[in-house]
Amino acid sequence: MVSYKRLSPEDVQFTNAVASEEAPVREEGKDPEETDRPLLPRRPSCSATTALISLGSLLLLVCGLWLLVTIFWLQAPSNSVPHRAPPPRGSPGTGGGDGSRALPEPQACGVVPEAWRFDCYPERGVVVTRELCEARNCCFIPASSSPPAPGRNGVPWCFYPPGFPSYSLVSVNATDLGQTGTLVKMVKTYYPKDILTLQLELLYETDNRLRVRITDPSESRFEVPIAVPKATEKASNPAYSVELSNEPFGIIVKRTSTGAVLLNTTVAPLFYCDQFLQLSSSLSSQYIYGLGEHRSSFLHDIHWNTLTMWARDVAPTELTNLYGVHPFYLAMDEGGTGTAHGFFLLNSNAMDVVLQPGPAITWRTIGGILDFYVFLGPDPASVIGQYLEVVGYPAMPVYWALGYHLCRWGYGSSNATWDVVKNMRNYGIPQDVQWNDIDYMDRSLDFTFDPTAFSTLPDMVKDLHSHGQRYVMMLDPGISSVQPEGGYWPYDEGLRRGVFINHTDGSTLIGKVWPGLTAFPDFSDDVTHEWWYDNLKRFHDKVPFDGLWIDMNEPSSFVDGSTVGCPDTELENPPYTPGILGGLLRAKTLCASAVQKTSSHYNMHSLYGLLEAKASARALKRMLGKRAFVISRSTFPSQGQYSGHWLGDNRSHWKDMYTSIAGMLTFNLLGVPLVGADICGFSEQTEEELCVRWTQLGAFYPFTRNHNSIDQKPQDPPAFSPRARSAMKQSLLLRSSLFPLLYTLFHRAHTHGHTVARPLLFEFPKDVRTYGIDRQFLWGKSLMVTPVLDPGVDYVVGYFPQGLWYDYYTGDSIRSKGEELRLKAPLDHINLHLREGAVIPTQRPNTTLFVSSGQPLHLVSSLSEDGSAGGELFWDDGESIDTLETDQYAHVVFTVVKNTMTSEVLHDHVEASYITVETASFYGVKVEPTRVTVNSHDAAFTYRANQVLTVTDLGLNLSQNFTISWI
């Protein structure tokens, strides 16, 4: 059997009866090829083609055979040679008698559709000729389609033929958790150090989670050192079935409820060399999300799109590997069923992820093992929850993290920084946190501050604290290595404790960052964590900061590798290098061969930001005794447990504002909900209109910070005209008023793995029109945000999924059939709409969340057609560690049914007793009430013609159950 044939029963091992059922009947009107995408149509084998050619004399007698060969001939390229060429010298052999293997038949190559051609020559910078391609025993056919766009790949001209040698499954055994098997390969590939015998391990970990591990049984290989759950018993009723192909080896995973194929690795050969591992699979549809960090639309383009992963310091740019590495995707199943699944490759090595229009995907990594998970959902939100069960739920943020943050590179002095804070106060503009970029440091040295320009920094921080505000400053990982001996404790002590990354000869690796020549801490070593804490504590004794901004932690260096270069080894120059910016693993970072405690930098590079965030969060908790606030540039799966993320050094362009929504939504999928972009843009000069619109959008980033670069004009709200300043102030006050809702959403993210900023498709998964929407988003399940993302307009077009929606500000209703609507959007307005069936808690806003959090609540209910609604509030002191685990919290549920709102205190705490419910509004009350009662007592109310009922002067204690009724 060959790779591209439909599997026959004798080549498949079924794990249960469902797997042996016939494929579902194709729906009427569907394209046959599209229906068969996961398992490609039956192909004639190479041996059959050979027989037909040799029996050509019978074609005149057998009409059917003549027609068949005519079709093959028409499909073959005109320049194909109709005979076998001798194998090129040095080409891989078959393992047969003479160790040689013939080139694929032209007819066999010609029947492979372009969409299903898997690249046999993925190296960059090489003009792939027929000779080069055939040296790998692959098919060479110039693509018939138009050339790809600049910077994009196109249909590969060199691709694997049917029957290209792969692994065979030679044995399978049952285990307590699933199955194990042995894979054997008889033919070496064109990459060195093939591992010819592999171990397969199938782990049925839960009913909705399958884990597959393919390892080298003879020698241990690097595995990503993050904690993942260990199953103790096999899933009793899995939502998936697994089929195993023997020859060639492949895994087919189906959804038992529908028969949908979620994974099919038989579509292309498996590679498992020391520094080249490749796994391909069909995809269930074209709707693929995740695969961070890249600047792109939220929905990925699958038309020959290669996404490279290797942490890199570069301003957000299309088709470029950026700061973080997240080899996880969410896929919607075909047909608008609303079902979804996820796939996670637990691997930290440099990799390419190739999407092609089959639809199919190829994972191509240069180290580690193949260790992957399939999550069955079935809905998108469940997929994310299941993924986060593996990598860890995000931490509950400290309350002030959800306020408005202000920063810039280039304040120049602490007094100038302080003046900005005072100006914000004078205008009554909300601000919770003031930041400083690297210019606060003394000669860019970590754990110092400029004794002249920033001499009043400690006083400024004390003033911030006295006003209920907080202070955060930047730290880079690079530690200056050229200060006089005894003059810079971080480096001297680091050398003494041995915390720095070394060359292979044991000497300290020296790179170059802002302070000049620098050494880099090895955060994979617990000794480094202790040294990091000691440095933070020493600095905190001088400047009592509240949180950390860790930057340049890809790690970034201004020289490639080190100041003395890197050794010429296989780690520095692997046989295949993914498409990373700069073309070398060491480009603007450390030598791949550099030595860390856990492993080589080759394996650890993309984990650097995660491990620094972990060290930082631990240090802050230990030092402050409160929840840690850390924002990191480089990220990896499980990052949300330790830090948030900002989307990097963006530009003051309208397009950057638009793409920030996709970035925000993607990181919510990846388990890092505390995320946002630099409001108004970091580099280049912003414009007033852009900054106003961006502040409105940024007010709905989970993490909201305005930050810009040195040598640019200030872009804090007071820097603009009164009209612009007023519009910014309104949007920030609006955010503050929604703090109770936002805080509750983060509680849900922390406890259940929910998203905070949410794509519309999560709530409307059966509405295919929502699948590509990234110009709108939701907070939770109910509050829809439709920002203006274009210049010079006073309107915006938004899509409203089917149902009843209410204007958040007025309560005016919109009954949508699933349609786009044009909305008014003057400069001082951002459109918000409430979905029917919600109760959201809001609060009277103030200039800091410290003050706002004690203000009375206003409950807003958006009633469904039947008059029902529901919501909740989670409340605690906002900063203590593990309040849920220690029962130091309040949890209140609000329900509206049959003209009555009830509150039920599921868990009480003294914090709730400090808050009162002052007013309640009900959108969609169809008949004007004659009487409203609160806890059976008459209450004052108003009713407007747009069917909004408002009850005022309630004075209800949040920690006590109450009812509000109307007749």
Enzyme catalytic residues: 551, 554
Using CA of residue 234, residue 235, residue 236, residue 239, what is the dihedral sign?
Answer: negative
Strand partners, 624: none
H or E segment to which residue 372 belongs:
strand 370-375
Q: Choose among 312, 335, 336, 332: nearest CA to 322.
A: 312
For residues 283 and 203, is the Cβ–Cβ distance under 8 A? Answer: no
What crossing angle do the helices spanning 688-698 and 722-737 adopt, rounded to 10°? 10
- 65, two tokens: 């055979």
- 861, two tokens: 């209910």
Q: Choose among 349, 347, 341, 340: nearest CA to 372.
A: 347
Strands of the 178-184 sheet, one edge to the other: 168-174, 178-184, 197-206, 209-215, 370-375, 340-345, 326-332, 288-292
Buried-state track 633-658, b at ≥16 Cβ within 10 A, e below 16: bbbbbbbbbbbbbbbbbbbbebebbb
Cis, peptide link before residue 248, omega less than 30° from 0? yes
Write the single-letter amino acid at 24: P
Instruction: For residues 134 and 827, give the distance between their C-alpha atoms in angstroms, rounded to a whole number.
Output: 61
Of how many residues is the chain composed?
A: 967
Instruction: For residues 418 and 400, give the distance between their C-alpha atoms in angstroms, rounded to a whole number.
Output: 19
Instruction: For residues 112 and 772, give the distance between their C-alpha atoms in angstroms, rounded to a whole number.
Output: 30
Task: Give the residue carrying structure tokens 């490279």.
Answer: 308
- 43, two tokens: 């192909």
CA distances from 43 to 3, 32, 110 (A): 10, 15, 11
H or E segment to which residue 276 belongs:
strand 276-282
Task: Give the residue carrying structure tokens 């090595």.
Answer: 349
Cis, peptide link before residue 357, omega less than 30° from 0? no
376 in the Ramachandran plot: left (φ > 0), alpha (ψ -120 to 50) or beta? Answer: alpha
CA distances from 510 to 29, 565, 591, 827 (A): 64, 10, 10, 51
Contacts of 931-934 with C-beta under 8 Å, sequence gap 24+, read 931/966, 931/967, 932/964, 932/965, 932/966, 933/963, 933/964, 933/965, 933/966, 934/962, 934/963, 934/964
In this structure, what is the dihedral angle of CA atoms 757, 762, 768, 769, given to the nearest 10 degrees?
-30
Instruction: For residues 727 and 734, give the distance between their C-alpha atoms in angstroms, rounded to a whole number.
Output: 11
Instruction: For residues 515 and 98, give the distance between their C-alpha atoms in angstroms, rounded to a whole number.
Output: 62
Please name the residues in contact with 38: beta carbons below 8 A apart, sequence gap of 6 or more: 252, 260, 261, 264, 282, 284
- 385, two tokens: 């929850």
- 801, two tokens: 């999924």
Task: Give the residue carrying structure tokens 């910077």.
Answer: 151
**276-282 and 261-264 beta bridge pairing:** unpaired
For residues 434 and 477, is the Cβ–Cβ distance under 8 A? Answer: no
Task: Give the residue carrying structure tokens 């050094």.
Answer: 649
Buried-state track 738-754, b at ≥16 Cβ within 10 A, e below 16: bbbbbbbbbbbbbeebb
Give 267's Cβ-side CA count (13 Å radius): 31
For residues 834 and 840, is the Cβ–Cβ distance under 8 A? Answer: yes
The helix/strand/coil state of 656 is helix
